Amino acid sequence: MLKEIESREDIGDFLNLNSHLIFHTFEYKKFIEESFGCKYQLLTAIEGDEVKTILPVVEVRNKLLGDKVISSAYLEYGGFAGDASGVREILDFLSGEFKETHGYLEIRGGMEGFDSTLSSKLIKKNLYQRFVLNLGEGEELVWGRIQKSKRKAVKKALKNLEVKELPVSELKDFYKLYCKNMKQFGSPPYSLKYFESFYRNIIFNGLGKIFGSYYRGKLISALVGFCYQDRVHILIAVSDSKFSEFRPNDAMHWSFIKWACSNGFKWFDFGRVREGSGQFEYKRKWGSVLIELPSYFLLWKAKKIPIVDPGKHILLVKIWKKMPLFVTKLIGPWLRKGLGI
């Protein structure tokens, strides 16, 4: 039997008994629904009264950009949790609902333990990788594995900067810095509503944090991440390029890592990365390990896998960088919602 979870009680003891990530939780469901005005479905295969398998999905609709179903939209990770025996039932349900109207199903990331099942039923593509730092050996050994030049940069940064958790009262300062950074990157920003929801549903429930670094009381960089179970998962890093000489990103990352070590977390996940990008080398220097981050596709109306190649969008990036800031703040959230990113 298939059922959609509508309340925290519907999950029962499932999350306590099964390996899962934050995007399987009801708090995350509320976070995404409030941020994007969408429906975040937690589809479940049930045997008797017991939840066996869960797959979170979002129906992403946009007349210009096309309609698709993504697990999990607005995050680089997605996938099933629980027993693989329920995978076929959920996939059949989704095909029955959407194959005539939507382009494809994408399952991002893929939970450990489901690769063989998904690879046999869907098309697997290794589009991205991720760097993960093992915190289990303690702060001293973690520090020792960091590249020497990076440790030197951290020490220099912490002599000049103060790093602390960003209070909600400074959210507008953060958002101003964030939007300027996204324009410089040539990438559309999330809405302010996204970060308001992040505080309300994630931070205030102890499931995430935002660290900021300050120079003489001025916020010059910030690092956003989930903190759930044994994993810190970084989402967003922004900084003011005028203060790059003080290495605020290094100060922030180490402060977040140090906090994670002190609070019993075992993994520090730097998030997805594409080999050859500027972020690839930066994340590698922290002593982290490179791991595959595959995506799985089921094509419906679409004729081919929707692979995003940054090299083919250089002109669009250049145009975006030249747009007025108020235009990128206006259009960006709409693009994010329609792309499911």
| Angstrom distance (rounded) from CA 322 to CA 324 | 7
21-34 confidence digits (pLDDT tens)? 999 999 999 999 99
For the chain, the average pLDDT equals: 92
**Residue-level length of the chain:** 341
The reply to whether 131-291 shares the fold of 2-129+293-339 is yes
Q: What is the DSSP string of 107-164?
A: EEB--TT-HHHHHHHSEEEEEEEEEEEE-TT-HHHHHHHS-HHHHHHHHHHHHH-EEE
pTM for the full model? 0.94
Whether pLDDT at 238 is above 60? yes
120-144 confidence digits (pLDDT tens)? 999 999 888 999 999 998 999 999 9
- The SS3 of residue 6 is coil
Domain at 131-291: CATH code: 3.40.630.30
Using DSSP bridges, classify how beta strands 68-71 and 40-47 pair: parallel, antiparallel or unpaired. Answer: unpaired
Least reliable range by pLDDT among 196-200, 263-267, 326-330: 326-330
Domain at 2-129+293-339: CATH code: 3.40.630.30
What mean pLDDT comes out for the span 72-94? 94
Q: What are phi and psi of 323, to 5 degrees?
A: -70, 150
The residues, any chain, with a CB within 8 Å of residue 99's CB and separated by 6 or more, are: 300, 301
- The SS3 of residue 220 is strand
The residues, any chain, with a CB within 8 Å of residue 288's CB and separated by 6 or more, are: 131, 132, 133, 268, 270
Contact 65, 99 (CB under 8 A): no
Sorted by where each begins, the domain ranges of the chain are: 2-129+293-339, 131-291
